[in-house]
Amino acid sequence: MPFAATELSHLAAFDRNKHWGSCVIALACLACLAMGDCHAVELAQQSHYEVLRTMGGCLLPTEVVAFRRPFPRTAFREFLCIDDHVSVQILSRAAALRKDPARDTRVFEQSHVAYAAVGLHPHPKKCQRNLHQATLLGADIDGLLNVLVGCWIHVLMYRRPALCILDQCFKDAARHPCDVVVRLSRRTMNELLAVSCIGPLLQTDLRVGWCGELFCMDASPTGAGLCAASVPATAVAELHRFAEQRGYYTKLEAPATATLRELGLETEPTYFDAEAPAPRLEIPLPRSLSEGILYDCCELFHEPRTWSLQHAALGLEVLRIPSSGGSEVRFNDLLQRVVFQELVSLALRGVVRDWHAGPPSVPFCSPYHPALRSAGFTASAPASAELAAARTTLGIRLGLLFCIIAFSGSFFSIEQPGSSLLFTLDCFKRALQCRGQLAEYCYCSFGCACKRSSVWLHNKPWMIDLPRECSCLMRASRFSTAGRFDANKISAFERCCTPSCMCLEVSEFLLQYPLPLVRQLAAGSLAAKSGLCKPFPLSALWGAPAVLESIAEDCMRSDFELYQPRAPHDDPEWIGELADSLPFREVLRYRFAKPNHINILEARMFKTFQKYLALRSPDSRSLSMLDSRVTVGAVAKGRSSSPALVRVLQGTLPYTLGGGLYNGALHVYSAQNRSDGPSRGKAVDPPTKELPLWFTELCQGRTYRFDLVVAAASVPRVAGRWLRLLLLLGGDIETNPGPALRSQRAPRGPLDLRSGFTRGAADRMAKCLDAFKVWVQSELWIPFSVLCSEPGPLALALRGYGLHLYSASFPRYLFVYAITAIQDAFPAYRQLMTPAWQIDKKWQSAEPGECRPVISVPIVQALTTLGLMWRWPRFVGVVLIGFLCMLHPSEYLPLTRGDLILPEDVFSKDRIAYVSVKNPKTARFARRQHCRLEDDSVLRFIEALFGPLPFDGRLYPGSMNTFRSQWNAVMQRLGIPYKKADKGVTPGVLRGSGATHLYLETEDLVKVAWRGRWARQKTVEFYLQEVAAQVVLQSLPPESRARIAGLAEFSSRVVEVYTRGVQPSKHPRSG
């Protein structure tokens, strides 16, 4: 709660200089983290992380081991767990015996410096160095477990596949309360005994090698297949860093999900972690020239060289440029042509990564020569033209030098006091335009006792988040910069400044940069040396438009997302590129003895894979690609919620433990899985793409392009392709150009409750409902609104209405549409209409309906020949689309050119066209549907016929009556019945005819159900059983059969001749 400052004057923490005044509001806080706080652990670990990162140059992104991030590829790895800072350094045996200092030595030296800077003191017993065996974070490294205590789960984490043993244990723990003593079941005791027996095997061997092959496996309902491609072991090790390591909750897929996945349609899984962290966007720095980076940093024209000393303390290579006199080059030496040319050559070669300059501020803000400079006229002034010209030359040469540095892609920073006019020179404005920022920092925010502001011109991303505003709590009593230190001032100065100093000139002391500031700058430069750096935002550029100011403010909000992250279930695109480009070969295939759930079969395939590795490549780490997220998650986690999957994993465990196998799995989409062919009795598909350049360089040990591809995979797929292109071109881009402009919401108007039904069906439902209302008024003599107040009487009324319609010989559809209209008007009554639907079912039994007959391919070919001879090409084109795409008349007659997606429309080399159905009759299956057309001769005919049409032009320009007249004329000429009363063929038979044709060609019910857009496969089975038997061709007279056979024989030639003869300028305008 808030207090007045005077109420807390009795506390030891009260300071008159900070808390004086009755109007000052103060809060009482603890000087430590209270363990009762739910965020205490998070705050402690994050504070520990920031101290080591910003003050000690530790925990670089390429070296830290963190959750859900790729394992570091370097020989040095860092771990941080609350107050424990642990590192692992991989050395050769000779280097370990010589005790050569490595990266770990410097890291812990700097960590002690960082601790001392913030007043922390490491515990002496925890400061362990150069250990070959140790217990780190609860794990025994390079040794057996000494004592098996605590939870078995912690032990099993070091060999996750063995987690599948504890199946009944988890069930018993969930079934019984934790504070109740229960008798363990026999199965639970057996599981605990089994874990105890294999306890010595529950360890991770860090010295196993890598298998020099990349595998892919798949299982179909009938068989399984395994394929492999030769890949260098170094590339496998790099790709293995991105394999699934932790796993996730899994269960058996629903039948519909499994079917869609087999067809290449991935659905968003529900077994991923709800709060899975998004992939981090870390952009690799652009590569240097062939000469490479020879020096990490270089400081010019600033004494004392605090900036260089702190960078060198972190192990960075500092370039020192001597002058002709032997000392380091000074600002005035820039007038010498030799010195200037040497600096320019270093900048042009790009051998220095980070440049800094702190030129003297006297030439541009000297209080002793106030007439030399002004904000309006910086170059020279009449007071001393010769002196001003020399100093202007120095400023111009410095600006030109740093413009070259900026254009060469190096990092740079220039520091000047807040009153300096140096940056108003035009050459520095050019440096600002080359991705730079002009920022003012107050040194009191970094521990300085005096008020001093400094302006920095830089292009370093790690300087953007540094505090700028004054955070001094003693603004009224800042230390004065005049005079000398004496005994009276030392105590006051030490209270205001850290570290304390001896007797020095105050102005001389203030020439140094604050140590906390330069330590953070050095830590950022060290992180850039590792190869990864966050991008420099466009909103931070100097001179940015005013609209970017609001964007910058939004970026400071904690809830603002710099980019839309890629969803966890969306695979990185580089995995698909590997699958499409590597030359996989078949390793094995086999058929299953009996059918089972597809996820069980895929798990059995993984068991076969472990058998193969245990025999051919034991004691190795392997990498495999699977198209089953269930198998990937269960194998990585070690167990599953499905008992059937757990049993398969338990059978796999002997091969995994006995063979010393460590598998990493990558998920690949089913359409790109090359082992799909062998699992279905087919050959392995050849590569469809060339090997990507990033993979070729990765096999050669160069990881830069692969890092760019991984960075591009941090965003969704479509945006990731553009990001990859821009990264390859420029190396670094702006990740957030600004929020989308918000448009004012326009009122939609009332919702059309008839949506979900076609216009004809909605009209028939309304008319049938009106007829039912009339019957209720005439027969039951009660108001219709009163009848609808209860579902029971309404269902009985519908039942009586159905009996009346049947006895009066009315058509059944009047009854069905009346029930459907009631259910649409009263959704809560849907489950209570069983009495009415029972009458409908008995009506169907008494008068079973008949499906429309189907026409076979010869009739369609004869129709095509006759239509083209009669110059009805657009009629023929629409009929072919309706037949091959299995469409209803209400779906293929309203089609426009925009609904027809030809290969040339999307620059595709695949000879496949798609038809978009906007208002499908089977809208309950999907609101937006599409059809696939892949017959090559029909596709060429449609491209020539409909390709030149405008996108809003209809494929068939006539009405439904016109189409029906043309249909009747063709059928009459062919001698085929076409009237419904004669059970003839109508335009509605094209859907069933196309489904029958596809089934006879493939005998694949799953494909027929998907292509025909049926929601349930059972419906397709009933439909084909009833329709396929009603073939028209066999019941026609001999004359009609002969005419159809003759016309069908010439159909392909007529189509080919017409396709060649169509000219875009003479396109027919009618059917």
Tokens of 77: 């790895």
Question: Greater confidence, 441 or 287?
Answer: 441
Contacts of 312 (CB under 8 A, 6+ apart): 318
The pLDDT-based confidence of 14 (bands split at 50, 70, 90) is confident
Per-residue CA distances from 766 to 797, 806, 816, 839 (Å)? 18, 20, 12, 21
Question: Greater confidence, 214 or 169?
Answer: 214
Q: Taking the CB of residue 783, how many other CB atoms lie within 10 A of it?
A: 12
Which 3 state secondary structure label does DSSP give 558? coil
Report whether pLDDT(147) > 50: no
Would you list the domain boundaries of the chain?
Answer: 1-31, 40-141, 209-272+569-702, 295-530, 759-846, 857-1066
E-strand ranges in 453-559 read: 453-458, 532-533
Q: Which residue has the tokens 């491209």?
A: 943
The pLDDT-based confidence of 763 (bands split at 50, 70, 90) is confident
- In the chain the first and final C-alpha atoms are separated, in Å, by 84
The pLDDT-based confidence of 146 (bands split at 50, 70, 90) is very low
Cis peptide, bond prior to residue 499, ω within 30 of zero: yes
138: left (phi over 0), alpha (psi -120 to 50) or beta: left
Report whether pLDDT(719) > 70: no
pLDDT tens-digit map of 1038-1057: 888 888 888 988 888 888 88
What's the farthest any 2 CA atoms get from each other in the chain?
A: 126
Contacts of 540 (CB under 8 A, 6+ apart): 437, 464, 552
Contact 276, 667 (CB under 8 A): no
Per-residue CA distances from 919 to 637, 895, 929, 995 (Å)? 44, 10, 8, 20
Of 898, 930, 871, the closest CA to residue 1070 belongs to 871
Sign of the CA dihedral with 995 first, then 1001, 1002, and 1004 last: positive
Report whether pLDDT(217) > 70: yes
Q: 209-272+569-702 with 857-1066: one CATH topology? A: no
Q: Tell me the C-alpha distance between 483 and 476, whole Å.
A: 19
Q: Tell me the C-alpha distance between 955 and 435, whole Å.
A: 53
Q: For residue 218, what is the DSSP state?
A: E
Q: Tell me the C-alpha distance between 990 and 1006, whole Å.
A: 20
Of 677, 730, 712, 726, the closest CA to residue 575 belongs to 712
Question: Greater confidence, 416 or 481?
Answer: 416
pLDDT at 115: 87
Report whether pLDDT(476) > 50: no
Per-residue CA distances from 806 to 325, 489, 782 (Å)? 117, 111, 23
In a 13 Å sphere around the CA of 764, the CA atoms on its Cβ side amount to: 14
Q: Tell me the C-alpha distance between 663 and 665, whole Å.
A: 7
Least confident of 267-276, 303-312, 1021-1030: 267-276
Highest mean pLDDT among 146-160, 435-449, 665-679, 1011-1025: 665-679
CATH 3.40.190.290 fits 857-1066, yes or no: no
pLDDT at 304: 74
The pLDDT-based confidence of 740 (bands split at 50, 70, 90) is very low
Buried b (16+ CB within 10 A) or exposed e, 793-825: ebbebbbbbbeebbeeeeebebbbbbbbbbbbe
pLDDT at 618: 92
Report whether pLDDT(598) > 60: yes
The pLDDT-based confidence of 381 (bands split at 50, 70, 90) is very low
Of 970, 1014, 979, 977, the closest CA to residue 995 belongs to 1014
pLDDT at 480: 55
Of 889, 891, 882, 888, the closest CA to residue 860 belongs to 882
The pLDDT-based confidence of 502 (bands split at 50, 70, 90) is very low
Of 611, 612, 606, 641, the closest CA to residue 624 belongs to 606
Average pLDDT over residues 764-775: 91
Per-residue CA distances from 853 to 15, 460, 848, 993, 1008 (Å)? 97, 75, 15, 8, 18
Average pLDDT over residues 919-937: 74
Contact 1026, 851 (CB under 8 A): yes
pLDDT at 802: 92
Question: Greater confidence, 773 or 719?
Answer: 773
The pLDDT-based confidence of 324 (bands split at 50, 70, 90) is low
The structural architecture, per CATH, of the domain 295-530 is: 3-Layer(aba) Sandwich (3.40)
Q: Which residue has the tokens 């009459």?
A: 972
Report whether pLDDT(826) > 60: yes
Q: Taking the CB of residue 169, how many other CB atoms lie within 10 A of it?
A: 19
Average pLDDT over residues 72-88: 87
User: Would you give the distance in Å from CA 773 to the centre of its chain?
Assistant: 56
The pLDDT-based confidence of 129 (bands split at 50, 70, 90) is confident
Q: Tell me the C-alpha distance between 142 and 129, whole Å.
A: 16
User: What's phi and psi for 307, nearest 5 deg?
Assistant: -60, -45
Number of helices and strands in the chain (H, E): 42, 22
Least confident of 50-64, 138-152, 619-633, 1047-1061: 138-152
Question: Greater confidence, 234 or 504?
Answer: 234
Contact 352, 409 (CB under 8 A): no
Q: For residue 648, what is the DSSP state?
A: H
Q: Which residue has the tokens 């004809």?
A: 760
Tokens of 426: 């035009």
Question: Greater confidence, 785 or 502?
Answer: 785
Least confident of 712-721, 776-785, 835-844: 712-721
Report whether pLDDT(564) > 90: no
Q: Tell me the C-alpha distance between 250 and 259, whole Å.
A: 18
Tokens of 1: 């709660």
pLDDT at 479: 55
Per DSSP, the residues of 302-368 read -SS-HHHHHHHHTT--EE--B-TTSSBP-GGGGGSHHHHHHHHHHHHHT-EEEEEE---SHHHH-TT
Amino acid at 749: G
Q: Taking the CB of residue 227, how many other CB atoms lie within 10 A of it?
A: 29
pLDDT at 726: 64
pLDDT tens-digit map of 640-676: 888 899 999 999 999 999 999 999 999 998 888 999 9
Which 3 state secondary structure label does DSSP give 625? strand
Of 706, 566, 577, the closest CA to residue 237 belongs to 706
Report whether pLDDT(124) > 50: yes
Contact 985, 978 (CB under 8 A): yes
Which 3 state secondary structure label does DSSP give 667? strand
Alpha helices in 847-950 (DSSP H): 857-869, 873-885, 889-892, 936-946
Average pLDDT over residues 893-921: 86
Q: What is the 3-state secondary structure (H, E, C) of 428-446?
A: HHHHHHCCCEEEEEEHHHH
Average pLDDT over residues 259-284: 55
Tokens of 373: 């400079």
pLDDT at 738: 37
pLDDT at 675: 93
pLDDT at 926: 58
Contact 696, 706 (CB under 8 A): no
Average pLDDT value over all residues in the chain: 78
Report whether pLDDT(128) > 60: yes
Q: Tell me the C-alpha distance between 297 and 294, whole Å.
A: 9
Report whether pLDDT(759) > 80: no
Contacts of 670 (CB under 8 A, 6+ apart): 218, 261, 262, 263, 264, 266, 627, 676
The pLDDT-based confidence of 1061 (bands split at 50, 70, 90) is confident
pLDDT at 626: 92
Share of the chain above pLDDT 90, in %: 18
Choices 3.30.420.10, 3.30.230.10, 2.20.25.90, 3.30.565.10: CATH for 209-272+569-702: 3.30.420.10
Contacts of 173 (CB under 8 A, 6+ apart): none
Report whether pLDDT(431) > 80: no
Q: Taking the CB of residue 148, how many other CB atoms lie within 10 A of it?
A: 13
Report whether pLDDT(196) > 70: yes
Of 521, 108, 461, the closest CA to residue 312 belongs to 521
pLDDT tens-digit map of 347-373: 888 889 899 998 887 666 644 444 445
